[in-house]
């Protein structure tokens, strides 16, 4: 039986060359826009079903490969008949009830019929179910990365495809996480619509920008302003850290502007390797205005010194 071909890439607004991450980002953006709990406009729920159907196929590498192979000569809306002997990909929507997946006839024809018992009939062998997981981004400050923090997260509990129940979980972020760190929370994601256990929740850490310090892996760096006499004579100066701790750093005599001084192990801690370092780039700062005594001393230095910075 012919059905209308569905262009899932067009529905998500992404090119066929998109990565799995790009497909996921596009889906999340559209899901927020058209979710029935957020959008009460006419047609929003139907559009939400379309983008969910598209994502169910394109998020699965095997399903996407088969879809690309059989759909390369078709455009959205054209009649399409799955070829004989097609080896389908298993999707289990047992919790939805009824005699169909709730998706289009193209989905049912392409990926197999779904019976009233919620099981997919397929001509090919069933794959072992893959562990379910979902991702969320959590933003933390540099201070929190250094000392750890406990955060509250609100998790959406679908229950069914369109429910908006939520729950709150407490998450302990240990010291030493950096930008891109992935934290797995077992069974703390949304409940699987197939009726199984909750998905694993993967928290991807994002470090907020700091007004003074920069972060590269576990190393942190900043600029250190010193006076001309501290640079020439040497000194020990304080560094106020994001945690409000104050460290002392030694300025060797004759230090030049642009020199980087390193405090080993004073960066972001690490469980699996050495902690990062704190690196301070020296900037020599001169007074904008001089008092009478300061001016006399600088004039005396000018007369007495044989130093030529341009030699």
For 169, list phi and psi in degrees, rounded to 5: -125, 150
What the block records as the tokens of 222 is: 């900043």
Taking only the tens of pLDDT, the chain with its 311 residues reads: 456 777 888 999 999 889 998 999 999 889 888 887 778 888 888 888 889 888 888 888 888 887 787 666 556 656 655 555 444 444 444 333 333 445 676 676 665 443 333 333 344 444 444 446 778 889 999 999 999 999 888 876 654 444 457 778 888 999 999 988 999 888 877 665 455 677 788 889 999 999 999 999 999 999 999 999 999 999 999 999 999 899 999 999 999 999 999 999 999 998 777 899 999 999 999 999 999 999 999 999 999 999 998 88
- 183 with 228, same domain: the answer is no
- 158 with 102, same domain: the answer is no
What the block records as the tokens of 206 is: 């994002």
- 33 with 94, same domain: the answer is yes
The beta strand positions in the chain, using DSSP E, are: 3-4, 79-80, 133-140, 149-157, 165-173, 182-185, 200-207, 214-216, 219-226, 235-240, 246-251, 260-263, 278-284
In a domain, 162, yes or no: yes
- 175 with 100, same domain: the answer is no
Q: Fill in the DSSP letter of residue 272.
A: S
CATH code at position 271: 2.60.260.20
Q: Are strands 165-173 and 182-185 parallel, antiparallel or unpaired?
A: unpaired
- 89 with 28, same domain: the answer is yes
- 103 with 18, same domain: the answer is yes
- 203 with 221, same domain: the answer is no
In a domain, 179, yes or no: yes
Q: What is the structure's pLDDT at 121? A: 38
Q: What is the structure's pLDDT at 149? A: 92
Domain count, the chain: 3
In a domain, 226, yes or no: yes
Q: Give this prediction's pTM.
A: 0.54
By C-alpha distance, which of 43, 5, 8 is closest to 26? 8
CATH code at position 95: 1.10.287.110
- 251 with 266, same domain: the answer is yes
- For residue 287, the enclosing domain spans 214-304
**How far apart are the C-alpha atoms of 212 and 194, rounded to whole Å?**
48
Q: What is the structure's pLDDT at 195? A: 53
């Amino acid at each position: 039986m012919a059905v209308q071909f569905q262009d899932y890439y067009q529905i998500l607004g992404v090119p066929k060359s998109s990565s799995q991450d790009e497909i996921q980002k596009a889906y999340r953006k559209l899901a927020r826009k058209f979710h029935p709990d957020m959008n009460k406009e006419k047609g929003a729920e139907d559009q939400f079903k379309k983008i969910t159907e598209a994502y169910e196929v394109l998020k699965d590498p095997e399903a996407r490969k088969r879809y690309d192979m059989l759909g390369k000569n078709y455009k959205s809306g054209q009649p399409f008949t799955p070829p004989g002997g097609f080896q389908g990909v298993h999707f289990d929507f047992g919790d939805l009830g009824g005699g169909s997946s709730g998706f289009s006839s193209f989905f049912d024809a392409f990926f197999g019929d779904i019976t009233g018992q919620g099981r997919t009939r397929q001509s090919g062998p069933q794959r072992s179910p893959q562990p379910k997981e979902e991702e969320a981004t959590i933003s933390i400050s540099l201070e929190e990365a250094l000392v750890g923090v406990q955060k509250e997260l609100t998790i959406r509990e679908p229950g069914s495809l369109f429910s908006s129940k939520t729950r709150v979980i407490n998450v302990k972020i240990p010291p030493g996480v950096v930008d891109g760190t992935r934290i797995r929370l077992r069974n703390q994601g949304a409940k699987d619509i197939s009726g199984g256990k909750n998905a694993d929740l993967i928290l991807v850490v994002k470090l907020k920008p700091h007004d003074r310090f920069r972060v590269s892996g576990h190393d942190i760096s900043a600029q250190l302003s010193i006076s001309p006499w501290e640079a020439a004579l040497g000194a020990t100066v304080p560094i106020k850290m994001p945690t409000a701790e104050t460290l002392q750093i030694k300025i060797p005599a004759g230090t030049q502007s642009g020199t980087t001084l390193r405090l080993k192990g004073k960066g972001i801690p690490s469980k699996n390797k050495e902690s990062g370092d704190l690196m301070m780039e020296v900037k020599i700062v001169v007074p904008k205005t001089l008092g009478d005594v300061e001016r006399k001393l600088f004039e005396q230095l000018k007369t007495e010194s044989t130093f030529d910075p341009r030699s």
